[in-house]
Structure 1
Amino acid sequence: MKTKIILSTLLMLTFWCNAQTTDSALKEVQKIIEASNKTFSDFTNKNDGSIVARYTDDACLFPPNGEPKCGAKQIDSFFRGGPQVHVIFTIQNLYGDPKTAVTEESFYEMTDMNGKKLDDGKVIVIWKKTKEGWKMHRDMFSSNHPAKQG
């Protein structure tokens, strides 16, 4: 009986230590993603295609009310010529394997360059670790408001 208690305790400690390591590693990845999210608007507003470097080579963007945009050319085409906006992302959840891929669940608020609120909604991004660092692999977002008819 004493052996079972000791083994159970050791097993529980092993799981607890492993969970702590994972939490710490995910927190590091979250810091990287938060830094990327802070400058996302800066790259889209440049309107020079530099936003594409934030995505994997085989990335797909899933915008609301439209077809998926896959690959650098289509993703660049989606962002190029868009309005100048500022977007703030607030991460709600981050989970996955901090060594290979994680999923980000966030809320966003979009304003014009004068701070007037244009939209708010939700985002799910699958981030993939590449040789160049963490990049967006799948990016899906939608507004919290009905599509405007017109």
Structure 2
Amino acid sequence: MKRKLLLSLLMGMTIFNYAKAGDDPLKDIRKIIEASNAIYADLANKEDASILTRYTDDACLFPPNAAPVCGKDNMLKFFKSGPKVQVKFTIQHLYGDGKEYVTEESFYEMTDMNGKKMDEGKVIVIWKKTNDGWKMYRDMFSSNGPLKQ
């Protein structure tokens, strides 16, 4: 009897663990990233450094065909030099354990302020957990379009 009870208990725990493993451990982090992505272009368009609130203090951008852009002053110059745009991000995958770092793999579609498509491409962002929440630590992006000469 004790043996059957112990076996039943172990089977129940195993089933519970398998069911729990089906939960997405990054579900809450995905919501945070989606919310940040939704306001990203609006913050960048302000040109008042509010976009930098999305990044860690030691963040770097890795734009296409350019050297890395690290440090808040350099990143602000980068954002101020760009056009005003609207961007829609679509998360394809999130990787990681959600404890310190998470990697986002996304596609983007960029339009001008009138909705005319300007570009589309892909993004890899390493998100870092900070005392102020999840922030972008490394941000790499590139166009799907041909290189313009």
Q: Above 0.5 in TM-score?
A: yes
State the shift of 1:13 in Å. Answer: 3.3
Higher-Rg structure is: 2
- How do 1:11-26 and structure 2 match up within 5 A? 12-13=14-15, 15-21=17-23, 23=24, 25-26=25-26
Say whether residues 1:71 and 2:71 are aligned partners: yes
Q: What amino acid sits opposite 2:101 in the alignment?
A: A
* Residues 3-39 of structure 1 deviation map (CA, whole Å, 9 limit, x = unaligned): xx76984674364255245x1x411110111010000
Q: Is residue 56–residue 136 contact of structure 1 (8 Å, CA) maintained in 2?
A: yes
| RMSD over aligned Cα atoms | 2.2
Corresponding residue of 1:129: 129
State the shift of 1:81 in Å. Answer: 3.0
* Residues 56-105 of structure 1 deviation map (CA, whole Å, 9 limit, x = unaligned): 01111100000001111111111113111000000000121223211110
Runs of 4+ in 1 over 3 A off after TM superposition: 5-15
Q: Is residue 47–residue 81 contact of structure 1 (8 Å, CA) maintained in 2?
A: no
Q: What amino acid sits opposite 1:74 in the alignment?
A: N
Q: What amino acid sits opposite 2:143 in the alignment?
A: S
**C-alpha distance in 1, partners of 2:42/2:51?**
9
Q: Where does structure 2 lack aligned partners over 5 or more consecutive residues? A: none
**C-alpha distance in 1, partners of 2:56/2:124?**
16
Matched pairs, number: 147
Q: Where does structure 1 lack aligned partners over 5 or more consecutive residues? A: none
Say whether residues 1:96 and 2:96 are aligned partners: yes
Q: Is residue 123–residue 141 contact of structure 1 (8 Å, CA) maintained in 2?
A: yes
**C-alpha distance in 2, partners of 1:109/1:66?**
20
Question: TM-score, structure 1 length as denominator?
Answer: 0.87
Q: What amino acid sits opposite 1:81 in the alignment?
A: S
**C-alpha distance in 1, partners of 2:140/2:118?**
18
